[in-house]
Every structure is written in structure tokens, then in C-alpha cells.
Amino acid sequence: MPEQSTAFRRFQGVSFGKNVQILGLANVAIGQGSAIGDDTWINVCDRDDRLRLVIGQRVLVGRQSMISAGGELEIGDFCLFAPRVFVSDADHVVDNISRPYSEQGFTRGKVVVEENCWLGINTVITGSITVGRGCVVAANAVVTRDVPPFSVVAGVPAVILKMFNPATNAWEHVRTPEDSERIAAARTVHGLPSREEYRFILHRTSKVGHLSPLLVGSGQCL
């Protein structure tokens, strides 16, 4: 991909697949060891002098994904995106039905996907929300509100199916409000690692310093 190499040289230690497009290059940061899959679109709506879209270290963005920032968007270290994941804090303004929606501007929110989240194929993360660290989002889920750390969610709109209980050191099903309250109480007593603590744990236990370029495509074979 010789036409991409000059622009992408600013992202040292990052692997790119074919046909990756970044709009708002100056507003984007991607951490070392990350890999961006074939045909991914990364977009910043407001191309000013601010850093608006940050992808952490050792993040895998699957093929044909779209990440779009209107206000601020952050993806934490070690996140794992399947193909065709959509993450955006922006939406079109549709206040005036007599004017083309494409000409009415866009909303500016803030999306944070914290460290070590696994987003399944066709996942949608949209709005102004936080997906807590260590979360798992099932395939085809649409997430429109905050998700507590270390939760498993699924559905349209997404609901919590499991939460990690530090008292039992296990993922437990959430079938009733009482289940959620019980696990939340255990979390209050036993605690969960903060983002900083969890990031330190992940970097300490990780054995892979750089995701393989084979993961992003580029017509390569193993």
C-alpha cells in the first residue's frame, strides 16, 4: 500500500490492512502495537486542533469496522474488535424536516470503551456512553447506554447477561434485579481494579508486545 505509507508513518509500531481510511489524521492517535484491519474507516467529524479520537496500545480493530468521533472518542489498551464493529459518539441533526438532514450538522458526544473489551461482530456502540473495562459485547448487540465494568451484554438494545463477582472470582448470570444488586454489593465490599490499576495488570501479564500484521489482512498468508 505505497500510497498509504507516508501518511501512516506517523503511527509508529501500528499495522494497517488494505484500504484503511483515516479522515482527520491530525486529530487521531493510535498506540503502539495496535492493528487496524482491512477496509476500516476512522473518521473525525470536527477537524480542528484537538486530539479527538484515541486508540490505545495493542488494540485490534477488525476488518470493515467504522470508528467515528464527533466530540471525543477513546478506546483503551488491549481492546479486541471483531469485523464490522461500529463505534461513534456522533449523529446527524434532524430537527428541521424541511432541510436535508445531511446539511444540519452533527451531535458531539463522548464515547469511552475502556481497557480490554471484546466487541463481537456487527456490534454497535453509539451515543455518549462508557463501556467499562473488561466488558464483553455479544455479536449484533446495540449498546446505547453505559455498561458497568466487567459485564457481558447482548441484544437490541443491549442488556446485561453476566457480571464478574469479585467475591466468588467468577462470572455470574444476571437474570433478575436482585442478581444485579447482589453482585454490585459484592463489588462495593471487595472492589474492582480502577482503570489505571487494570491497565497496569494487563501490561504486566501480557506476553505479546505487538499484534501480528497478519491479523489485519493485507493479502498475507501464514
Phi, psi torsion values for 105, nearest 5 degrees: 90, -170
CA 196 to chain centre: 17
Three-state DSSP class for residue 182: helix
Three-state DSSP class for residue 221: coil
Rg of the Cα atoms in the chain:
18
CA 84 to chain centre: 12
Please confirm, yes or no, whether 203 is among the known catalytic residues: no
CA 60/CA 120 separation, integer angstroms: 12
CA 95 to chain centre: 29
**143 with 157: CB under 8 angstroms?**
yes
Q: 171-195 b/e with 16+ CB inside 10 Å = b?
A: bbebeeeebbebbeebbeeeebbee
| Sequence-ordered list of residues with C-beta below 8 angstroms from that of 116, at least 6 positions apart, any chain | 76, 77, 78, 79, 80, 133, 134, 198, 202
Three-state DSSP class for residue 216: helix
Cis before 157 (ω within 30): yes
Active-site position among 92, 173, 203, 210: 92
Q: Which residues are catalytic?
A: 92
